[in-house]
C-alpha cells in the first residue's frame, strides 16, 4: 500500500460519519432482502499481505514489527505490518529510514513465490463463490456475487463467509467492502481496514461520500487536488454539487466527467473476470551503478531465466523480447525485438536481451536498473514452434524444464547456468 493510500485510509477512518452505514454484525435476512439487496459488488483487500505471509512463515516475529524489503543501500520497503505502520513506516520508503523509525523490526526479503502461492489460495476461495472475480494485484480483487445469492444468501453474508474462510483456511485476515458499484465497495474496504467488513447501502452512499476529502477519489493526485482546492472544492460533497461543465473546463472533458460522476457515487464499470497475462517480466535494481558489460550480460541471463521459468510455470510462450535500461540519472530506455517464433526458453530470451543491450549505445554507461520482459504472451498449446528445414532442436527447452523440476524440489539456486554459478563463486 502506497503512502497516499495510507493517507486516504486515515482520512476515511477519521472523517466518515457512521450514520447510514450498516454495522458489521447486523442481522441480515438469509434471502438477501435486507439493505444489501442491490449491493452485489465486493472488494476484498488483504491486510498487510506480504508482511502477514512472512509472519506465518516466521512465528518468532509475531510480537515484533515486520517489514518486507531489501537491505541494500538503495532498497525500499515493499510492505509493513500495522505495528510498523503505526511508527511511520510505509511502502516505497527507503529501508534505511524505515529501520531508523523501527529499529526492532524483523526484516524479510520479498519472496514472490510464497506471496503468489498464498494469493492463488485466496483467489481459489473467491472463485468457489463466483466466476466473476477480477484480481487487481496479489492482495486485492473485485467480485460480482449477483449470481451466487440464491445459493449463498445476501452479499453481506457472502462477504462474512469469505472472510471466515480466508481466516480459517489461510490464517490471514482481509477487509471487505460491499456496495452497489466498484468505486464505493473499494472505499468501503479502505474504511474498515484492518480485518473489517463494511456495507454501504445505496440509499446512504452520498452520506458516506460527502464528508470525504477529494483526495479519497481515484485519479485525484496532488496537482488535481490543488486545482480543486483553488476552486474551493475540498470535500467530495462540495465536488458533487459543483457545476459539471465548469469542472470539465478546469480538468478536461474526460477527467471532469469522471470525477463529477464519482463524487455522486456513480460508477458503471463492471467486474471483468481475470484474463491471461499479456507479458511476463523481471527487473533488477543494483546496489551500486554498474557499467561493466560482463556484469550486465550475466544479470540479463539471470533475469531471462526468471522470465522463462515463469512462462513455463504458467504454460505460456511469448514472441517479443524487450529490455529496460535505466541510467544513474533515472532516464530510461527500452528496446524490443519480435522473434520469428514464440518461446519460453531462457537461453533464447537472454540471447536477444543481450543483443538489444549491445545495440543500445549504453554498453559502458553506468546503469541503475535493468529489466527483461517477454510480450505477446499466449498459451503454449496455441503457439507450436515449427523447426525450419534442416534445423535441429537445440534441446534447451528440455534442459530448462529439468532445471525447473530441480528448483521446485530443492529451492532457488539448487541448479543454475554455469556462467551464473561462476559469478557467485567469485563473489564469495
Q: Which domains does the chain have, with CATH numbers?
A: 1-212 (3.30.70.270), 213-263 (1.10.150.20), 279-383+390-427 (3.30.1490.100)
Give the integer Cα–Cα distance in Å for 66 and 110: 12
Please report the pLDDT score of residue 275 as a whole number. 61
C-alpha cell at 165: 474462510
Burial class (CB in 10 A: 0-12, 13-18, 19+), 209: buried
Please report the pLDDT score of residue 20 as a whole number. 43
Residue of 7, 120, 140, 283 with catalytic role? 140
- Determine which helix (DSSP H) or strand (DSSP E) holds 178, and give its type and residue range: strand 174-179
Give the integer Cα–Cα distance in Å for 217 and 191: 13
- Determine which helix (DSSP H) or strand (DSSP E) holds 80, and give its type and residue range: strand 77-80
Please report the pLDDT score of residue 82 as a whole number. 94
Radius of gyration for the alpha carbons in the chain, expressed in angstroms and rounded: 25
Cα dihedral sign, 147-150-155-160:
negative
Please report the pLDDT score of residue 186 as a whole number. 95
Give the integer Cα–Cα distance in Å for 94 and 99: 9
Number of H helices, E strands in the chain: 17, 13
pTM of the entire predicted model: 0.64
What count of residues does the chain have? Answer: 428
| pLDDT per residue as tens, the chain (428 positions) | 444 444 444 444 333 334 444 444 445 555 555 677 889 999 999 999 999 999 999 999 888 999 999 877 778 899 999 999 999 999 889 999 999 999 999 999 998 888 988 998 999 899 889 889 999 989 999 999 998 888 888 899 999 999 999 999 899 999 999 999 999 999 999 999 999 999 999 989 999 999 999 988 888 888 889 999 999 999 999 999 999 999 899 888 888 999 999 999 999 999 988 665 678 888 888 888 999 999 999 999 999 998 998 888 778 899 999 999 999 887 889 999 999 899 999 999 999 999 999 999 999 999 999 999 999 888 876 544 444 444 444 565 665 565 565 555 545 454 455 455 454 444 43
Question: Binding site membership: which residues?
Answer: 45, 139
Q: Which residues pair with 284 in a beta bridge?
A: 370
Please report the pLDDT score of residue 1 as a whole number. 43
Identify the three-state secondary structure at position 279.
strand
Enter the DSSP assignment of 343: E
Identify the three-state secondary structure at position 264.
coil
Please report the pLDDT score of residue 10 as a whole number. 42
Nearest one of 306, 289, 416 to 353, comparing CA atoms: 306
C-alpha cell at 259: 470525477
The CB-based long-range contact list for 165-171 (8 Å cut-off, 24+ gap) reads 165/125, 166/46, 166/122, 166/125, 169/121, 169/125, 170/118, 170/121, 170/122, 170/125, 171/56
Give the integer Cα–Cα distance in Å for 301 and 297: 6
Q: State the pairing for strand pair 367-375/279-290.
A: antiparallel
Active site residue 7: no
Cα dihedral sign, 47-48-53-55:
negative
Alpha helices by DSSP H, 289-345: 293-313
Question: Binding site membership for Mg(2+): which residues?
Answer: 45, 139
Separation in Å, CA 196 to CA 47, 252, 289: 10, 37, 44
Give the integer Cα–Cα distance in Å for 76 and 78: 6
Q: Are residues 271 and 147 in contact, defined by beta-carbon separation less than 8 angstroms? A: no
Please report the pLDDT score of residue 27 as a whole number. 53
Give the integer Cα–Cα distance in Å for 60 and 172: 17
Nearest one of 211, 213, 261, 216 to 240, comparing CA atoms: 261
Q: Are residues 114 and 51 in contact, defined by beta-carbon separation less than 8 angstroms? A: no
Identify the three-state secondary structure at position 306.
helix
Please report the pLDDT score of residue 183 as a whole number. 94
Q: State the pairing for strand pair 316-327/332-343.
A: antiparallel
Amino acid at each position: 500500500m502506497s503512502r497516499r493510500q495510507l493517507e486516504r485510509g486515515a482520512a476515511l477512518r477519521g472523517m466518515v460519519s457512521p450514520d447510514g452505514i450498516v454495522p458489521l454484525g447486523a442481522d441480515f435476512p438469509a434471502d438477501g432482502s435486507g439493505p444489501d439487496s442491490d449491493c452485489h459488488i465486493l472488494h476484498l483487500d488483504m491486510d498487510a499481505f506480504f508482511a502477514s505471509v512472512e509472519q506465518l512463515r516466521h512465528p518468532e516475529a509475531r510480537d515484533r514489527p515486520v517489514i518486507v524489503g531489501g537491505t541494500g543501500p538503495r532498497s525500499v520497503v515493499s510492505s509493513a505490518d500495522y505495528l510498523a505502520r503505526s511508527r511511520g513506516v510505509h511502502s516505497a520508503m527507503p529501508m534505511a529510514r524505515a529501520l531508523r523509525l523501527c529499529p526492532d523490526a524483523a526484516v524479510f526479503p520479498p519472496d514472490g513465490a510464497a506471496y503468489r502461492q498464498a494469493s492463488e489460495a485466496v483467489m481459489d476461495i473467491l472463485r468457489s463463490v463466483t466466476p466473476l472475480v477480477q484480481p487487481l494485484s496479489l492482495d486485492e480483487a473485485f467480485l460480482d456475487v449477483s449470481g451466487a445469492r440464491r445459493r449463498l444468501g445476501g452479499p453481506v453474508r457472502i462477504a462474512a463467509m469469505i472472510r471466515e474462510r480466508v481466516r480459517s483456511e489461510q490464517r490471514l485476515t482481509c477487509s471487505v467492502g460491499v456496495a452497489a458499484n466498484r468505486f464505493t465497495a473499494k472505499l468501503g474496504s479502505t474504511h474498515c481496514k484492518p480485518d473489517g467488513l463494511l456495507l454501504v447501502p445505496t440509499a446512504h452512499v452520498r452520506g458516506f461520500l460527502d464528508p470525504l476529502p477529494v483526495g479519497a477519489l481515484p485519479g485525484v493526485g496532488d496537482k488535481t487536488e490543488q486545482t480543486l482546492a483553488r476552486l474551493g472544492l475540498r470535500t467530495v460533497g462540495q465536488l458533487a454539487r459543483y457545476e459539471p461543465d465548469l469542472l470539465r473546463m478546469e480538468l478536461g472533458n474526460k477527467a471532469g466527467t469522471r470525477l463529477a460522476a464519482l463524487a455522486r457515487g456513480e460508477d458503471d464499470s463492471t467486474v471483468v473476470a481475470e484474463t491471461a497475462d499479456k507479458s511476463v517480466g523481471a527487473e533488477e535494481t543494483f546496489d551500486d551503478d554498474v557499467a561493466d558489460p560482463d556484469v550486465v550480460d550475466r544479470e540479463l541471463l539471470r533475469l531471462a531465466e526468471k522470465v522463462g521459468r515463469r512462462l513455463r510455470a504458467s504454460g505460456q510462450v511469448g514472441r517479443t523480447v524487450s529490455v529496460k535500461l535505466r541510467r544513474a540519472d533515472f532516464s530510461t530506455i527500452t528496446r524490443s525485438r519480435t522473434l520469428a517464433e514464440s518461446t519460453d526458453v531462457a537461453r533464447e530470451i537472454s540471447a536477444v536481451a543481450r543483443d538489444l543491450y549491445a545495440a543500445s549505445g549504453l554498453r559502458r554507461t553506468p546503469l541503475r536498473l535493468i529489466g527483461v520482459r517477454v510480450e505477446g504472451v499466449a498459451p503454449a498449446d496455441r503457439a507450436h514452434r515449427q523447426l525450419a528445414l534442416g534445423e535441429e532442436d537445440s534441446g534447451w527447452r528440455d534442459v530448462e524444464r529439468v532445471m525447473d523440476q530441480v528448483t521446485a524440489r530443492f529451492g532457488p539456486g539448487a541448479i543454475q547456468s554455469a556462467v551464473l554459478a561462476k559469478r557467485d563463486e567469485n563473489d564469495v
